[in-house]
Amino acid sequence: MATKYIYKFKLPKKETVTEQVEETLADGRVALVPKTYEKEVQVEFGLKKPSKSQKDDIDLSYKSHFSEAIRRRVMPIAELQKQINDRDGVFSKKEIQRKQALIAEYEVARLKLEKITDAESQEFKDIIASLQANLDELDSINQKEAALYNQSAEGYAKNKIIFEVLALNSFNLTDAKDFFSGDDLEAKLERVQELDETGTEFERQALKVFYAVISAYFSNDRLTQEDFDKALAPILKQSE
């Protein structure tokens, strides 16, 4: 059975290559001489869709992490939500209006970006900059809600399984190998943290896309390749 993927994407990577090329020497002889140069290659990645058996494991893992959170006296979301409602919600009216405006502005800019073919044009760079600023502001607003959710038992358990699936199901398809090396889950999770802290720019960019995709997948598992292509266009084009 063919492997199914949540999402596949490509990122450019600069590699140093040494090749033997023919060169005419001073005495007229033709010889093979090593030449080293830098070239850009496209590396393909894929986030594998969990199989039925893995989904069963995920359910068990989620329940285990949820129970662990409860033992640590972390509140379930229902209790946390009651506290939030007692404080008149997470966001102020102004923040709600600003969030709605940012989402609308992002969609307009994204549609403009799709029509630009020259990645070196000033218009392209300006739109990329505005999209990034838009995402940064949206992120700062959403962090208020996310911070509260992450403090819940459900949030604790969900974050645990997101990183577990991220560590196990991320692949470098070009090199036909796991993106996170390691003999077991614990070793792979350590590799995730290592790349996040000390990985190359290329590795951190791939990690950023993987994490964005797996997080979105656990919120909506019906998202398609096309959905992710549109949502991640600013990030992927910025890498070109």
Instruction: Specify the DSSP class assigned to residue 49.
Output: P
Residue 35 lies in a domain: no
Q: SS3 for 15? A: strand
Averaged pLDDT, 67-89: 78
Quick check: 64 pLDDT over 70? yes
Number of domains observed in the structure of the chain = 1
Question: CB pairs under 8 A, 24+ apart, for 140-147?
Answer: 141/91, 141/95, 141/98, 141/99, 141/102, 142/99, 144/90, 144/91, 144/95, 145/90, 145/91
Q: What is the pLDDT of residues 110-166, one digit of tens each?
A: 888 787 777 677 887 788 788 788 778 777 777 766 666 777 899 899 999 999 999
Residue 9's H or E segment, with its range, is strand 5-24
What is the C-alpha separation between 14 and 34, in angstroms, rounded? 19
Q: Which amino acid is at 126?
A: D
pLDDT category of residue 67 using cuts at 50, 70 and 90 = very high
**pTM of the shown model:** 0.69
Residue 6 lies in a domain: no
Residue 54 lies in a domain: yes
pLDDT of residue 197: 95
Residue 32 lies in a domain: no
Residue 13 lies in a domain: no
Write out the residue range of the structural domain in which residue 121 sits. Answer: 50-238
Q: Where are the beta strands (DSSP E) in 51-209?
A: 170-172, 177-178
Residue 4 lies in a domain: no
Residue 225 lies in a domain: yes
Instruction: Specify the DSSP class assigned to residue 135.
Output: H
Quick check: 181 pLDDT over 80? yes
